[in-house]
Amino acid sequence: MKNYWTKSKVDKLSNMWAKGVPAREIANKLGNVSRNAVIGKANRLGLSKKAKDQDSKKDNKDFSLSSLVADMKGCKWPIGHPGDEDFYFCGKPVIPGKPYCGEHCLIAYRRKDNNQKIKKFFKLNTD
Ligand SMILES: [Zn+2]
């Protein structure tokens, strides 16, 4: 197996891998090689790393947004649309026990019938 990976086999592997051909199928097409050997070779060539990076990039976007929300201490009121360049969270100090600052608490709870309760709540907490 020492000289199994000739340049033409490596080229074929790279091409098929880039097209997303499953490792088992690549192994069948190359012949005399196991699926694991194909994956191992792809790893050494840095091919699988590339594919993985693309996947984690996709995941990271969602992940960073949700972790951003979880980690942030300020108001979680979204300004703009998630995914937009200028999207951000308000970030002002929150009302204790609420996810939003005073201003955004008022907006968030405006539609609910407990307006009175909210007003009372804010009065109690202004000092
Ligand atoms: Zn806010």
Q: Rounded to an integer, what distance in angstroms lies between the CA atom of residue 92 and that of residue 36?
A: 53
Please tell me the distance between residue 104's alpha carbon and the centre of ligand 1 in angstroms. Answer: 5
Compute, in angstroms, the gap from residue 74 CA to the centroid of ligand 1: 8
pLDDT tier at 66, thresholds 50, 70, 90: low
CB-proximal residues (5 Å) to ion ligand 1: 75, 77, 90, 92, 101, 104
CA of 106 to the centre of ligand 1 (A): 10
Q: How confident is the model at residue 108 (pLDDT cuts 50, 70, 90)?
A: confident
Top-confidence residue, 30 or 80:
30
92 alpha carbon – ligand 1 mean position (Å): 5
The residue-averaged pLDDT of 94-120 equals 76
Q: Answer with the residue of higher pLDDT: 121 or 114.
A: 121
* Helical spans, DSSP H, in the chain: 7-18, 23-30, 35-45, 47-71, 102-110, 115-124
**What's residue 51's pLDDT?**
52
The amino acid occupying position 103 is E
Whose structure tokens read 């608490």? 105
Spatial distance between the Cα atoms of 38 and 26, rounded to a whole number of angstroms: 7
